[in-house]
A and B are shown apart, each in its own frame.
Chain A
Amino acid sequence: MHHWSVRALVVGCVWTLLVGVVSAVLPDFVGWLWASIAAVAVGWGALLLLSARRQGDDPANDAEAPMALLQAELASCVHAFEAQFQAIETESTQVLGVLADAVDRLSDGFETLHASVKSLPSLVPAGTLDSSVCRSALRQAVAVLDQVLDTETTHEQASHTLAVLTEALSTRTAQANALLGEVNAIAKQSALLALNASIEAARAGDAGREFVVVAEEVTALSQRTEGFSTQMAAVLSAMQSLIGDAAVAMDAVNVQNTDGVRAVRAQVDQLRAMPEAAVELPGSAPLLDAQAAKIVEALQFQDIVAQIVGHVVGRVGGMREALVELGAVAHDAALARDAGAVTAVCRRAERVGQTLRTLAARTANPPVGRGATPGGSIELF
C-alpha cells in the first residue's frame, strides 16, 4: 500500500472520531445525528478525492509501467536464450552421432584396403623382369597405404580429441543453462524494484534521503546482472574456443585424408596401367576402388560435422553479441533514476530481444538437411 493511502486512512479515522466526540459532547439535538453522518461522509469523500489526485500526480506511476515493460523484455530474453541453448545441445548431439559414424566407416574402409593391397604381391608371377617391376610398384603402393594408415591414426586421435571437446561443450552449455536461472531471478526482482520505486517516488517529497535505499537496491541489481553477464560471456567464450578448436581439427583431418586418398588412387591407376599387373589384378583393383569410395564417403561425413560445428559457432557468436548488449542494459539500469531513464533502458532491452530474434531467423535453416531418406540414395525424376 502506498504511503499516501496510509496517511489518508489515518486522517479519515481521526476525522470520524472527532465528529463522534463532538456529537456526543454537544447537547442532544436530533439534527446532530444527520449532521455528524454528513460531516463524516464529506470528510471521507474529500480524502478519497485528494488521494486520487495525489495518485495521478505520483511520479511512481510513470516509473511503474516502464519497469513492468523491462521485466517483460527480460523474460522474453530468457526464453530466447533457452531456445538457443536447447538448439546448441541438439546440434552437439548431432555432431557426436555423425562423428562416430565417420570413424567407424573410415576404420572399416582403411583396414580392408590395406589388407587388399598387402595381398597383391602374391598375385604377380615371380622370375620375370616385368614382375619385378610390378613388385616394385606394389611395394610403393603398400608404402603409400602405410602412410595413409598413419594418417588414419592421426585421424583417430583428432576424432578422439573432437569427441572430448564436444563433450566439454555439452558441459559448458549445461553451466550456461544454470546461469539462466539467475536471469529469471533478476526478472522477478525487477518487479519488486518497480514496487519499491513507486513507494519511494511517493515519499521523495518529504524523505529524500530514503531514496538512497532504492538507489542501493538498483545498484545491487545492476552488479548482480553485470556479474551474470560476465559469467555467461566467459562460458560462451570458452565454448566458442572449444568449438573453434574442433573445427580446425576436422579441417586438418579432411586435408590429410583427401591427400591420402588421392595418393592411393594414383598408385592404383599406375598398377592398372602395367601389362603384367593388368593380367593379375583385375579382381583386386575394383576392390581397391570400392574401398577408396568408402573413404570418400566417410570424408563427407566429416564435412557434415564441420558444417554443423560452423553453424553452432555462428549461433554462439550471435548470443555473445546479445549478452554484450544485455550487460550495457544492466549498466544503464544502475544509473536510471527517473521515468525517462528507465524508458531508455527499456528501449535498449528491446534491442537485445531484437538481436536474439534476428539470430533465430538467421540460424533457422540448419546447415545439414534432415529427412527420412538415407545418405547415398539416388532418385531420378
Chain B
Amino acid sequence: MNKYVLAIDDSASIRQMVNFTLKSAGYSVVDAVDGRDGLARAKGQQFDLVLTDQNMPRMDGLALIRALRELPSYQRTPILMLTTESSDEMKSQGRAAGATGWMVKPFDPLKLIEVVRKVIG
C-alpha cells in the first residue's frame, strides 16, 4: 500500500529535495509552502506522515502541529519536524505540541528515508 507524506517548507529547494528523496524510496509526496497551506492540504486529504519546517511565514511548524492535533483524524498521525532549529527549548516545545520527532537540517537523505520507514513503514 502506497504511503502518503505531506512535506511542508517555505523553501522551494528543501521541498524539492525532500520530494526527490522520499519519492525515490517509494513514497507519494505532497508539498505545502507554509503551515497554513499545510493545514488546508491536511484537511483535504489524510496523510500517513507530516514532515514540517519550523520557521515559516503565516503559520510556523509548532502552530501547525497544535492545529493538526486538534483534528480527530490527525491525533495519532506521526509528525516530524525538519528544521534548522536545534535548541533544547525548541525541542521541548515541539514535544509538548505533539511532534513525533525532531530532525535538524541539513538532513542526510538516507537517514531521512530510514526514519520515515521506521515511523510509517
Contacts and interface: CB of A to CB of B under 8 A. Distances in A.
B102 A376 contact: no
| Most chain B CB neighbours (cut-off 10 Å) among A254, A302, A367, A376 | A376
A301 B85 contact: no
Given A300-B14, A300-B17, A376 B84 contact: no
A122 interface: no
A371 B24 contact: no
Nearest to A254: B13
B86 A369 contact: yes
A59 to B, nearest CB: 51
B106 A297 contact: yes
B7 to A, nearest CB: 14
B52 interface: no
A34 interface: no
B112 to A, nearest CB: 8
Interface in B95-121: 95, 99-111, 115, 118-119
A289 B20 CA distance: 13
A377 B13 contact: no
Contacts of B54: 369
B110 A373 contact: no
B86 A377 contact: yes
Interface in A346-381: 365-381
Nearest to A379: B102
Contact of A381 (B17, B102, B110): B102
B16 A258 contact: yes
A374 B108 CA distance: 12
Interface stretch (A150-158, A209-217, A229-237, A303-311): A303-311
A21 interface: no
Interface in B30-65: 54-55
A290 B110 contact: yes
B11 interface: yes
A289 to B, nearest CB: 7
A160 interface: no
Contacts of B108: 293, 297, 376
Interface string B2-22: 000000000101101100110
Contacts of A306: 11, 13
A366 B54 CA distance: 11
A304 B105 CA distance: 9
| Most chain B CB neighbours (cut-off 10 Å) among A368, A369, A370 | A369
Nearest to B17: A296
Contacts of B67: none
B101 A380 contact: yes
B91 interface: yes
| Most chain B CB neighbours (cut-off 10 Å) among A258, A375, A381 | A381
A188 interface: no
Given A289-B110, A303-B11, A307-B11, A376 B104 contact: yes
Given A371-B86, A380-B115, A293 B100 contact: no
A367 B110 contact: no
Contacts of A307: 11
> 5 smallest A-B Cβ distances: which pairs?
A369-B85, A371-B86, A300-B106, A373-B86, A371-B87
Interface of A: 254, 258, 261-262, 265, 289-290, 292-293, 296-304, 306-307, 365-381
22 contacts: A258-B13, A258-B17, A292-B109, A297-B107, A297-B108, A300-B13, A300-B17, A304-B106, A307-B11, A365-B55, A367-B55, A372-B86, A373-B104, A375-B105, A375-B106, A375-B107, A378-B103, A378-B104, A379-B91, A379-B102, A380-B115, A381-B101
Given A293-B108, A375-B86, 16 more contacts: A297-B107, A297-B109, A300-B106, A303-B11, A303-B13, A304-B84, A369-B83, A369-B90, A375-B105, A375-B106, A378-B101, A378-B102, A378-B103, A378-B104, A381-B100, A381-B102
